[in-house]
Chains A and B, each alone.
Chain A
């Protein structure tokens, strides 16, 4: 098991995470930023527990994020 951490506050809404991994991300219609689906909010962070396989796949999203606010643990 692993974790995806999203520091949503700094999101600039480019949409690359949603483009690469639509099963995990949605662009919010409300404020144009990305939402990490089914994640739990912890202050400014959004955390989602995922399988090792998904954790691996998210590495690409982590690299692609222009403001580097997605971390995989």
Chain B
């Protein structure tokens, strides 16, 4: 059992996040291009032409890359699908994550390795056996308990269910990130309310808002004791990770292609450390507390263990957005770097910074770098504070390039 290497799979919604995932120790990343993925609405979406560079970056860093093509597909999408798969084949992306049979059929025809998306809601052994004729990995529905997961994996081994590659079918589980109130994303709330289908990656997240119930006869507004009755907290399994590992899963997946490089880096790094700690028997209560503290600093709606332990039913969020203990505020852009003295130059475009502030720099080359600003030079003069329009320089370990984004970290007061 000890030799089994579990793959840590991180989200990459942008080149910054891709680099952040690599720096944090991900074994693989998943990404989407154009509109045929579940984050089509996201501000940062990769284009078809980015596949080449994504493949090159992943290869140079010896990590695997998977492309998500898991929306509902229409006839008019097939040509784009073909063009995407042509690029996938050309640049040898390691696998496609899909649930629609058109994608499955095309991948099989082109001999492209396939992972079955959680959108397929695989909940039992027979479904895994069915998909073994087309795929090598199945991402199980997020609603299963670990007992159910372990049973499926045991049966795969006992019945020697092999995938297309000839190896035993692999199982992938979500370990961290947003959960839906609907079964593995099969939700029509956003479609009915805003005509924006979650299954085309356009979810408007109606479930994340507070609601009241009105008695139409009396117009009386009923108080719902928890207003966020449709918004589950985020999945976090760092405190039960050994149980996930013991279930026999092969891949652990982190959700969050719409999230920033700071989220990708922090979450991936915590789970990487936790997996290593489990491996060398140094997984302790103190470490769990420290990881949880770090995980709380980036985007989250509060944490729970999801459905893995079975007995605990839905835990709901307490506010519409993130309850992260820290927040990042955009400050400005990088303009120069002096490598010999390790000094970075930035132009402030919004807000202000002062010495002692914790800053993060994000870019495709750096990923995410965190720096505490010990000294600050404003427009060539040593100073304590800088405001919009100022050119500032301060010591930075990471190699700053023109256009790198600079953020200030501030503590968030959670009420």
Contact = CB atoms under 8 A, between A and B. Distances in A.
A64 interface: yes
Interface stretch (B191-199, B244-252, B342-350): B191-199
B281 interface: no
A31 B34 contact: yes
B196 A32 contact: no
Interface residues of A, number: 18
Contacts of B80: 13, 30-32
Contacts of A12: 35, 40-41, 200-202
Q: Is the interface of B mostly helix, strand, loop or mixed?
A: loop
Given A32-B79, A66-B202, A13 B35 contact: yes
Contact of B74 (A11, A15, A63, A64): A15
A14 interface: yes
A29 interface: yes
Contacts of B83: 31
- Most B Cβ at <10 Å: residue of A30, A31, A64, A65: A31
Interface residues of B, number: 20
B34 to A, nearest CB: 7
Contacts of B34: 31-32
A6 to B, nearest CB: 15
A32 B200 contact: no
Contacts of B74: 13, 15, 27, 32
B195 to A, nearest CB: 5
30 contacts: A11-B35, A12-B200, A12-B202, A13-B76, A13-B77, A13-B200, A14-B200, A14-B202, A15-B74, A15-B76, A16-B195, A27-B76, A29-B79, A30-B80, A31-B80, A31-B83, A32-B34, A32-B35, A32-B36, A32-B74, A32-B76, A32-B81, A33-B35, A64-B195, A66-B41, A66-B195, A66-B202, A66-B204, A67-B41, A67-B196
